[in-house]
Chains A and B, each alone.
Chain A
């Protein structure tokens, strides 16, 4: 069974540009969550999508957006990039097991903003 696949794995952008990251969940998983990981800040929740609908959202500015397609694949977009957006962006797909949302993470997309 294929795991969670994120593309691209690495990318470099300059301030002011925009970026789109992609996440393909485990087959059968309908929920996809996105997290930003920076040193010392842990995993900061961006948003969660379920059946093409944003179900929950973290405390990030409107420059961060996402969507989910009918095949459960998800994309997140960051517009007007800032230096502070440099981070590892992790996607996790999940299956609800006995009421618990069990997350499986992808390898991440490492974004560097120059």
Chain B
């Protein structure tokens, strides 16, 4: 099945800085790549996703890029705020959805 690797496992930034989280996937047939945010004690929530026929997608301060050739996709958060502090999961899907191990992002005020 699909294998998703995510880096870094922890990331600490100052408020206002940018944060980048990177993921790689193994199955070139995967066609859907969502990102989920999980705040402490809460369920994962979809924040942005990208399909395999698109290279980049933006939604306000967050953006995702996809490089199908390299089987690599990234989450970019600009102008980070303390409320961005959470665990972020990338995922890749063809049949079922497989997740990366997560990145704990801490935004220091």
Contacts and interface: CB of A to CB of B under 8 A. Distances in A.
Contact of B96 (A56, A90, A105): A56
Given A43-B44, A43-B89, A108-B43, A102 B99 contact: no
A62 interface: no
| Size category of the binding interface on chain A | 20 to 34
| Size category of the binding interface on chain B | 20 to 34
Contacts of B9: 40
Chief secondary structure at chain A's binding surface: strand
Interface of B: 1, 6, 9, 31-32, 34, 36, 42-46, 49, 51, 89, 91, 93, 95-102
Interface of A: 33, 35, 40-45, 48, 55-56, 58-59, 90, 92, 98-108
Contact of B51 (A40, A98, A105): A98
5 contacts: A45-B1, A56-B1, A99-B31, A100-B49, A106-B43
